Amino acid sequence: MEDRASLKIAQVNVYFKPFMVGGAEWYVYNISTELVKMGHEVHVFTADHCNGDRAPSREVVDGINVHRLPLKIDWTYRTKVWDGLYDALSDGSFDVIHTYDYAQPHSVDAIRAGRKTRKGTVLTVFDVHSMIPRIWYKRLPMRFIDGYLARRTLPGAGRILVRAPNLVQPIVKLGGDPERILVTPSGIRDESLGDFDGKLFRERYNVGGSPMVLYLGRLNPLKGPQDLLAAAPTILKEHPNASFVFVGPDQSGYAKTLGAEAERLGIGQHVHLVGPIFDFDEKMQAYAACQVFVLPTAYEGTSQAIFEAMSQGKPVVATRVGGVPYQISDGEEGYLVEHGDVNMLATRIKDLLDDPSLATEMGQKGRERVRSNRYSILATALSKIYDQVRTSN
């Protein structure tokens, strides 16, 4: 890349390494490392602590300049007010400010800073929060937060990047300019298509038995691990040596609830709750070890875990919600089921376990499909978007 094409880019997200809470954090890390490889100067602004753990205020991580700021208000994930973010972004001489999640105070500051300095702004939308199923008493405040913050972020963004086509119209209704909205999928690291040894994962976590069914995601009722657990006894009737592996961070003690339910169902010896995996190679070994990947979530913008499972040639059984149908086609790379239909979830998993050749065929289709979602390709496209918003100001 020529020097004149090199950009100074600010990325703004709630968390970053070492606090890899979910897919957003992995996306920011992976896309930033690719942008650095392209010759761009990347700065990530993020919170300095998470769940009682604190990280250094300044650090360089794989060529990325990380700025961790203290929080003046830290009540919940969505009610965080950062100390000094607006000034840091306004004074940083950035060519582009890219912020994540429209319904966050940090995105309000990022868009304001971009307008003040007349620099390009980009806003990535992973989910429309008022569309996510919630307990009734959480819906009203979420709708208020959604609308209040959306009015202060969406209209001022130079480009709004959504993960799937189903998010376009909801974002327009919240105030986004349809002419500025682009569908840009999430992706996989190029190395995800490599060979990984699933035996190492099985040995590390003492996972015996075969076949292995894998869930990877937050242990939260919204993500549906309890539905896979409920489907397990039916699957075990025909595959009595099957193992069900749950990988992901525990939220509000839900891992204990799942463990207790496995014991109540009498399948505790078949269930492995291994906790979160942050190491890339180890995570890919988990995908390599399984025969089927399952994500029975109630809502999903798009799932990086689905893409990663596909990169290892694994068939997917997932719910027909959010952006998932834009990731896999029913009957092609796997199966889609209705959320909460435990019987059909069990049936589709059994279909794949009963027919290894079908599972292999679907897995290979997924592997081919996801090749175009490599971060090296996505970063090139994103760099062009940055050039557009920078020159339009």
pLDDT in tens, 60-95: 999 999 999 998 888 777 678 899 999 999 998 999
R_g of the chain, CA atoms, integer Å: 21
Query: What is the secondary structure of 201-225 as a DSSP string?
Result: HHHHTT--SSSEEEEES-BSGGG-H
Question: What tokens were used for 174?
Answer: 């919240």
Backbone region of residue 346 per phi and psi (left: phi > 0; alpha: psi in -120 to 50; beta: other values)? alpha
| Predicted confidence (pLDDT) at residue 230 exceeds the cutoff of 80 | yes
> Which amino acid is located at 151 in the chain?
R
Give, in order, the Cα–Cα distances in Å from 107 to each of 41, 163, 190: 21, 17, 29
Cα 154 from Cα 141, distance rounded (Å) = 19
pLDDT value, residue 299 = 86
| Predicted confidence (pLDDT) at residue 195 exceeds the cutoff of 80 | yes
Query: What are the tens digits of pLDDT across the range 235-248?
Result: 999 999 999 999 99
pLDDT value, residue 2 = 43
Domains for the chain: give ranges and CATH numbers: 3-187+374-391 (3.40.50.2000), 190-372 (3.40.50.2000)
Strand stretches in the chain, DSSP E: 8-12, 41-47, 49-50, 53-54, 58-61, 64-69, 71-76, 79-82, 96-100, 120-125, 159-162, 181-183, 212-216, 243-247, 271-275, 292-295, 316-319, 334-337
Query: What are the tens digits of pLDDT across the range 322-367?
Result: 899 999 999 999 999 999 999 999 999 999 999 999 999 999 999 9
pLDDT value, residue 136 = 61
pLDDT value, residue 3 = 45
pLDDT value, residue 216 = 96
> Which amino acid is located at 208 in the chain?
G
pLDDT band at 4 (very low <50, low <70, confident <90, very high): very low
